[in-house]
Amino acid sequence: MSKPNIVICMGSSCFARGNEKTVEACESFLAERGLKDEIDVDLGASLCTGHCAEGPVVVVDGKVYTHVDPLVMRDILEKIFPKKV
């Protein structure tokens, strides 16, 4: 299975709407789960994704998520990396 590709938009509109907090939430989640982005996930940033009015935007494996805040980011990550029991 290939590792997930997560791209967080850091264009001016998404950044102004708080995507820097989304980055922090993503990094925190990965650290909590012992995941390393270079091994377990392709984590990157982009400039504009073209969905400025719907930002903050995150793209996961080509699927665009809009209105993403830190809680939504954690929900997305929970689906990608479910907690092992």
Q: What is the pTM of this model?
A: 0.87
User: Measured between alpha carbons, how far is 33 from 62 in angstroms, rounded to an integer?
Assistant: 23
Instruction: Look at residue 1 and tell me whether its pLDDT is greater than 90.
Output: no
| Predicted pLDDT of residue 67 | 95
Instruction: Look at residue 74 and tell me whether its pLDDT is greater than 90.
Output: yes
Structural domains of the chain, ranges and CATH numbers in brackets: 5-80 (3.40.30.10)
Instruction: Look at residue 37 and tell me whether its pLDDT is greater than 70.
Output: yes
Preceding amide of 70 cis, omega within 30? no
CB 9 within 8 A of CB 49: yes
Amino acid found at 6: I
